[in-house]
Chains A and B, each alone.
Chain A
Amino acid sequence: MPKMLKAVVGNLVTKPATRPHPYRRREAFARARGRVIFDISRCIFCGACALRCPASAIRVNRTERELVFEPFRCIICGACVDGCRRGCAQIIPQYHSPAYTKPEETYRAPIEVKEDNQL
C-alpha cells in the first residue's frame, strides 16, 4: 500500500506523459526523414533518382525537362538523395501531413537555364 501511495501522489503532481497533439506538435528531430523535396534549379534531369526509387514515386522527362514526384507514393527511404549528384533531392525533417487527395508535384526547369546546367 505505501508503494502505491507514492505512485498515486506522484501521478497527481506530474504532468501527463502525452501531448495535446493537434495543438502542440512534436518538434522534428534534426536527422529525421520527414519528406523529400527537390531544389529544381540544381537538377540536370539525369533520372538517377527515378532509377533508384524503390516505390517508383519519381518520373523524370529529360526532353521536357520535367520532374514529377508523388509524395504519397514516396516511402522516404532517401535512396534518391544518395543517388543525386547535384544535391537536388533533399530530405527535410518535417513530415508530410495527411491529406484527402494525393496530388503529384511537378517541377519544371527554370526558363533561364545556366550554361553549366545543360546536358
Chain B
Amino acid sequence: MGVKTILPFGPQHPVLPEPIQLRITLEDENIGQVLPALGYVHRGIEKAGEKNDYPLNVYLVERVCGICSATHGLAYCMAVEKLLAVEPPLRANYLRVVWTELHRLHSHLLWLGLLADAFGFESLFMQIWRIREMVMDALEKTAGNRVIISVNTIGGVRRDLTEEQIEETLRTLAECEKQLNAILPVILEDYTVRKRTVGKGVLTADQALRLGAVGPVLRASGVAQDLRMTGYAAYGELGFEPIVETAGDCYARAVVRARECFQTIDLVRRALQNLPEGDILTKPRGNPNGRAIVRVEAPRGELLYFVAGNGTKNLERMRVRTPTLANVPTLLEMLPGAEFADVPVITLSIDPCISCTER
C-alpha cells in the first residue's frame, strides 16, 4: 500500500502546449482521482462579442482558437446568416468547405506531430510538421494568411480562387498525400508507438455517449457521429461518410485522425474539382433579430454557436461551446487506473485546445 500523493500536472508542462492543470492523486505510479483546473487563459471573447458590431465579430471569433479559426468564423457566419435569412451562394459554400477542410488537415497533422512528441519521437514530429508546412503554404497562397485566414464573412466568402490556384492546391494535396502515405505507416505500425498507445485510456461507446464526448474521441469509440453528415455548407452535395474505429483507446483516436487526413484531402479535391461558377457573396441586409443555434464539426469535434440578436447592430448574447469542453470529462474517466507515464499521451489523445475552451 503506497502513500497517496497529489501531483499537479500543468499548467506549465512540456507536453501541454496550453495551460490546463490536472491534479492527479497518485498511489505509487497508479492514478487514482483526477481533478481538472481551468481558467488560465480566459479572455472574455463572448462579452467582447456583445460590444462589437455584428460584422466585426467574425474577426473576433476567429481568434477564439489558433488552430481551427476558419471553423469558428464559419459557425458564427452561419448563425448570423440564419437570423438575417441570407443564403450564401453555392460557390461560397464550396470554398468554405475547401478552407475548413484545409484547416482540419493542418490541425490533425499538428496533433499527430504532437503525439509523436508526447512520447519522445522527435524526428517523426518534425517530419509530420514538415508536411503540415505545405498545407500552411497552400492556405497562405489561397487565403492570404497561414492560420487566421479571415475568409468567411456574413453571406459568403471574401476571396475567390483562380484556376491556377486551384491547380496549385491540387498539386500540393497530391504531394501531401504521397508524403503522408510514406510516413503514416511509421506512426501506425511502429512497435514503440503501438506500445505507448494501444490499450491506453480506453473509452467505451457507452461511456463516450454518457460523458457527451464529441469528434474523433467519440468516433474512436465506435459511435458514427459527425456533424458534417448533416450536410451544412457543401457537405451535403459532396457526400460524406464518418470514419469510425471501435477500440476506443489512444491508438484508435490516432487512427481516426490519420484516416481523416486522407478523407479531408479527398473532400478538398472533390470540392475544388466540382467548384461551381458564380458569385461568392450575398450581401446581408438589416440587423440580426431572434435566436439561432448552429453546430458545425471542428477538427476536435462539435462546435456550437448560439447567437441572440435584438434588431440592433450589437448582439444580445453570443455563446460558444467548443469541443474540448465536451471532451475534458472523458479524461476524468480515462486517466484513473492508468500509469503516470501515460498521462501525457492520454491527455493529448483528446486533442485539448484550452484557449478554445475558455474563450
Report whether over half of chain A's contact residues are helix, strand or loop; otherwise say mixed: loop
Assuming the A-B contacts A29-B140, A54-B52, are A79 and B145 also in contact, with contact meaning beta carbons closer than 8 angstroms in the complex?
no
Flag if B56 contacts A31 (CB, 8 Å): no
Compute how far the CA of A31 lies from the CA of B168 in the bound complex, rounded to whole angstroms: 13
Nearest-neighbour CB distance to chain B for A96, whole angstroms, equals 14
Compute how far the CA of A49 lies from the CA of B317 in the bound complex, rounded to whole angstroms: 26
Assuming the A-B contacts A77-B150, A78-B150, are A31 and B59 also in contact, with contact meaning beta carbons closer than 8 angstroms in the complex?
no
Q: Does B142 contact A (CB under 8 A)?
A: yes
Range of interface residues on B (Cβ < 8 Å): 10 to 19
Flag if A32 contacts B59 (CB, 8 Å): no
Nearest-neighbour CB distance to chain B for A56, whole angstroms, equals 10
Compute how far the CA of A25 lies from the CA of B145 in the bound complex, rounded to whole angstroms: 17
Nearest-neighbour CB distance to chain B for A76, whole angstroms, equals 7
Flag if B59 contacts A54 (CB, 8 Å): yes
Flag if B142 contacts A31 (CB, 8 Å): yes
Q: Mark A1-26 against chain B: 1 for CB-CB distance below 8 A, else 0.
A: 00000000000000001000000000
Task: List residues of chain A with CB within 8 A of the CB of B144.
Answer: 31-33, 78, 91
Flag if A54 contacts B158 (CB, 8 Å): no
Q: Does A75 contact B (CB under 8 A)?
A: yes
Flag if A52 contacts B56 (CB, 8 Å): yes
Q: Mark A70-87 against chain B: 1 for CB-CB distance below 8 A, else 0.
A: 000001111100100000
Compute how far the CA of A29 lies from the CA of B55 in the bound complex, rounded to whole angstroms: 28
Q: Does B141 contact A (CB under 8 A)?
A: yes
Compute how far the CA of A43 lies from the CA of B137 in the bound complex, rounded to whole angstroms: 34
Flag if B130 contacts A79 (CB, 8 Å): no
Contact partner of B140 (CB less than 8 A), chosen from A17, A32, A78, is A32
Flag if B141 contacts A54 (CB, 8 Å): no
Task: List residues of chain B with CB within 8 A of the CB of A32.
Answer: 140-141, 144-145
Task: List residues of chain A with CB within 8 A of the CB of B148.
Answer: 75, 77
Flag if A29 contacts B59 (CB, 8 Å): no
State which residues 131-147 of B face A: CB under 8 Å.
137, 140-142, 144-145
Q: Does B60 contact A (CB under 8 A)?
A: yes
Task: List residues of chain B with CB within 8 A of the CB of A79.
Answer: 56, 59
Compute how far the CA of A33 lies from the CA of B142 in the bound complex, rounded to whole angstroms: 11
Compute how far the CA of A17 lies from the CA of B141 in the bound complex, rounded to whole angstroms: 20
Task: List residues of chain A with CB within 8 A of the CB of B142.
Answer: 31
Flag if A54 contacts B130 (CB, 8 Å): no
Flag if B150 contacts A31 (CB, 8 Å): no
Flag if B59 contacts A77 (CB, 8 Å): yes
In the complex, residue of chain A having the shortest beta-carbon distance to the beta carbon of B126: A17
Task: List residues of chain B with CB within 8 A of the CB of A31.
Answer: 141-142, 144, 159, 165
Compute how far the CA of A29 lies from the CA of B165 in the bound complex, rounded to whole angstroms: 12
Nearest-neighbour CB distance to chain A for B241, whole angstroms, equals 33
Q: Mark B232-272 against chain A: 1 for CB-CB distance below 8 A, else 0.
A: 00000000000000000000000000000000000000000
Compute how far the CA of A59 lies from the CA of B165 in the bound complex, rounded to whole angstroms: 35
Task: List residues of chain A with CB within 8 A of the CB of B56.
Answer: 52, 54, 79
Compute how far the CA of A52 lies from the CA of B53 in the bound complex, rounded to whole angstroms: 9
Chain B residues close to A by CB (< 8 Å)? 52, 55-56, 59-60, 130, 137, 140-142, 144-145, 148, 150, 158-159, 165
Nearest 10 CB-CB pairings of A with B: A33-B144, A54-B59, A54-B56, A77-B150, A29-B141, A77-B59, A33-B145, A31-B144, A32-B140, A29-B140
Chain A residues close to B by CB (< 8 Å)? 17, 29-33, 52, 54-55, 75-79, 82, 91
* A–B pairs, 13, beta carbons within 8 Å: A29-B140, A31-B141, A31-B142, A31-B165, A52-B56, A54-B52, A75-B59, A76-B145, A77-B150, A78-B144, A78-B150, A79-B59, A82-B158
